[in-house]
A and B are shown apart, each in its own frame.
Chain A
Amino acid sequence: MPTHAGTPLIEATGLNRVFRRPRTSLTRPGAAVHALREVSLTVRRGERYGIVGESGSGKSTLLRLLCALDQPTGGTIRFDGQEITGRPERALRFLRENLQIVFQDPMSSLDPRMRVRDLVAEPLVALGLPVAGRVAELLDAVGLPASSAERYPHQFSGGQRQRIAIARALAPRPKALVADEPVSALDVSVRGQILNLLADLADELELTLVFVSHDLSVVRHVCETVAVMHQGAIVEAGPVDDVWAAPAHPYTRALLEAVPTLEGLI
């Protein structure tokens, strides 16, 4: 098991993201929506960091900022010691090589007109890295037969599609993998397969994992550290077992109570 030791890989300080609603008056600007308020977090090398929150809590906005898919209106993010905020896309190559993302819905995050081979090779092609043999290697790593390479996404089940998305994310041999609700669109029997696969890969490739979920029990299984988000702010953060056993913030308690479990009832 990775421990809390290790040097920081992702450091975010005082992140703010304000969106503007469309203006409704000629004289005044549109209302401001504070999607993130003063969010700071540190993810260490080899750590598995969970982010929990409900829809609208700002977790997806935070992820987009961490992946430099969006720019914050305030605050800084450093990845592996390098500032990533305020850079143009062409100066983000080091980030694209080292940080990859798996999205929630494997249906909409895979181009239906591309073969699996091209999907998995796309990050390599985009970064100008050699492809040779890597696709077969990756498909094997995520437990898909080599013959899948010639097929299209619609020919696969939800769980298999999520495996394809993971293979694609791992293509450039990233140091960190960001997973945005990777199992919430999956059936429970398949959920275990994908969570086991993520754990194996994280061990094998010594990945740093940022794992976003609305379900604290899933985060507890995967991660050692958790941050709870509510209304754009981190209301509680710490070792997941501590937060689970003794939630300090009232919102964390409400969240824990609301998750239906089998243990309490049977």
Chain B
Amino acid sequence: MLKVEGLTVRAGTVELVSDVSFGIAPGERVGLIGESGSGKSLTALSLMGLLPEGVTASGRARLGERDLVGVPESRMKRLRGGELSMVFQEPMTALNPLMRIGAQVAEVLTLHGRPRQEARERSVELLERVRLPGPAQIARAYPHQLSGGQRQRVMLAIALANGPGLLICDEPTTALDVTVQKQMLGLIAEVAPALLFITHDLAVVASLCERVLVMYGGRVVESGPLREVFTRPRHRYTQGLLAASRLTPRGTRLPIIPGAVPAAGHFPGGCVFRDRCPHATPACATTPALTGDGHAHACWHPAD
């Protein structure tokens, strides 16, 4: 359903995302994981046609029969919020503080051609669908009157308004408490048609997704079925991330990945992880290709 091939995002001469390819089948839930600065959000924004000024995407991305990359804004406008939609990390900044909740949900419906009256009724139904208590009251409330979890549910209602084929969630639960996060993840799993879920939290992906893509330095370094990637990681970065995510007993050292994620444009040539990798050799100066069917990895010295 979504097919991305050779997606590259550049800011001037700096490559921020390089040659990313993946697909999402209808009904499939795919996780995109990596640390901040690895290019996850830019990948999502380029699919939505929401890249900031001065940042350009090239390559191919098709949702069903429609192109997503390199198409004029007028065409993207019809797709965005219709065929595909996105839930952002910060529900407070994503919602308009001066508009009532109901009006914000109805807006995305009227923009896609629904009559005003119908949109208003439908928006209350949508708020009910994301399990907001008292949807009619919530529709009359302003964003500041809602809690973080409620606001994120409103974002989800807006994203689902036009029955999209693909839902992109960019760290939708990072700002929420764990108990609220659990409810929100359950809801997303239930309502998402097909899902691209971006997060840095491996445990969240493990509870939600079937397949996972691991990004580092703007490249997909490993991809495959979640269970396989998490139990038998091949790329050294995935291995390090998994090790660092498990908290060892008190009094023992936590496994770490040495160093820090470099700033954009300062990743080493060849394998992007080689300056932090304990297994790096001179061979790593050449870029490894993402190889393997199903469970693929881009590493010259993969773990067994």
What is A's interface to B at a CB cutoff of 8 Å?
1, 54-55, 157-160, 187-193, 195-196, 199, 214-215, 217-218, 220-224, 240, 254-255, 257-263, 265-266
Contacts and interface: CB of A to CB of B under 8 A. Distances in A.
Contact of A262 (B35, B203, B255): B203
A263 B242 CA distance: 11
Contact of A187 (B181, B185, B261): B261
Contacts of B249: 221
Contacts of A265: 203, 206-207, 230
A252 to B, nearest CB: 11
B244 A189 contact: yes
B202 A214 contact: no
A54 B177 contact: yes
Nearest to A224: B250
Contacts of A55: 148, 177
Nearest to A159: B260
B193 interface: no
Interface in B205-252: 206-207, 227, 230-231, 240-242, 244-251
A218 B250 CA distance: 10
Nearest to B230: A266
B244 A157 contact: no
A235 B284 CA distance: 53
25 contacts: A1-B251, A54-B180, A157-B261, A187-B35, A188-B201, A190-B256, A192-B254, A192-B255, A196-B253, A196-B254, A199-B251, A214-B177, A215-B178, A220-B247, A221-B248, A222-B250, A254-B179, A258-B179, A260-B182, A260-B204, A260-B206, A262-B206, A262-B230, A265-B207, A266-B206
B36 interface: yes
A191 B240 CA distance: 12
Contact of B179 (A157, A255, A263): A255
A160 B245 contact: no
Contacts of A188: 35, 200-202, 241, 244-245
Contacts of B256: 189-190, 192-193, 196
Contacts of B188: none
Contacts of B51: none
A54, A240, A262: residue with the most chain B Cβ atoms closer than 10 Å: A262
B44 to A, nearest CB: 18
Contacts of B248: 221
B55 interface: no
B257 interface: yes
B247 A221 contact: yes
